[in-house]
Amino acid sequence: MHSFRVRFAFLLLVFLGPALGAGAQAAEVRANAATAFRTAQVLALAEKVADYQLATMAGGYVPPNTSPDTPDPYGWVQGALFVGLTQLADRSERTGYRQAILARGLANKWELGKRTYHADDHVIGASYLWAARNGAGQAAIAPLRERFDTILAYPPQVDLEHAEYSDPRGVSCAQRWCWSDALFMAPPVWIELAKATGDAKYAEYAKKEFAAVTEYLFDREEHLYYRDSRFFQRRGPDGEKVFWSRGDGWVFAGLARMIPLLPPHDPGRARMETVFKQMAEKLKAIQKSDGYWSPSLLSDPEKSLPESSGTGFFTYGFAWGIKSGLLDRAEFEPTVRKGWTALTRAVHLDGKLGYVQPVSDRPENVSYEDTQFYGVGAFLLAATAVADLNLRP
């Protein structure tokens, strides 16, 4: 791991030296400009946040009190960040973000994490697919394709019931997408690989498994996803069902990533669009007055803390939904404005993104000082989608 950090840091500093100088200038932007909605201003804030995160990574920074997943260059914590970086690279005039993505892939030798079936070890593949389209060529997705071919040859046979981590069985369903986070980590990569290769088998697998987990975890009354089967019977302090903000954020953002990759008349796409619109209606109704969503979505909004990772994914989904035409602009634009304004308040003057709930699988405490790579990924997704709307101040 140490040799990887040295290699990646060297590549990152070589590629990003000029960009980080510009980031220092961005750090001087007046705080009250952060709430602007115009494309240039939104992207400037996105660059400021990205520059801070990339600089800390190049310096070997790991946030305190984090899990062993955090420094893993193949894992989901950083993989979600690189999903956001691909969107910023597509829109920024600065080449440093493109070079950071390529540097990560080269340092990783375009490999996925070691767990063959686990969704968390698939999400980094999204950045490899982007790299293949942006100069790295087919070599960037060869290991990804080999991994997915192995899964198709030996499909998982487990059910979707999720065991407690203290249970001797462990997470019994880890070979399948039996937890809500997985719908961001894996199926968009599968569907994009189908598009990149012209081989529909990858998308067919993703659609089948998405349908199975949606049938299992989607609450037909609340139009929200349980994080996993352990939460079916759990209730909050006021008797409310427990729906985790970031857990549903993973799904909402995952749908926004999957839907445009499928053909317009694909039945699988139609099912995803239906779920997306149902979630959108519910999420709009429970957004807090301060623009954030509660860590536990149905908890008392007056008692809940600000939280930026779930809010980032939701804001991204709403902005994308408006741009794509799935959501009515007049109805949902106020939700985007409130969400984006809340996110800007989470950005420290130096570009650090705060209010990111630490690694977990349920609603927990969060503070202004808490940050994480995946939270920045959510912020970059939100920023780029809001920038695409070019909202008036």
Catalytic residues: 181
Beta strands at 218-219 and 224-225: parallel, antiparallel or unpaired: antiparallel
Which residues have a Cβ under 8 Å from the Cβ of 18 and sit 6 or more positions away?
96
Quote the CA–CA distance of 289 and 322 in Å, as a whole number.
21
Neighbouring-strand partners of residue 241 = 235
Query: Rounded to whole angstroms, how far apart are CA atoms 222 and 244?
Result: 13
Q: Are 250 and 188 in contact (CB under 8 A)?
A: no
**Is residue 96 within 8 Å of residue 47, measured between CB atoms?**
no
Torsion of CA 225, 265, 387, 356, to 10 degrees: 20
Concatenate the DSSP letters of all residues of 77-109 into one string: HHHHHHHHHHHHHHH-S-THHHHHHHHHHHHHT
Gap between the Cα atoms of 203 and 163, Å rounded? 28
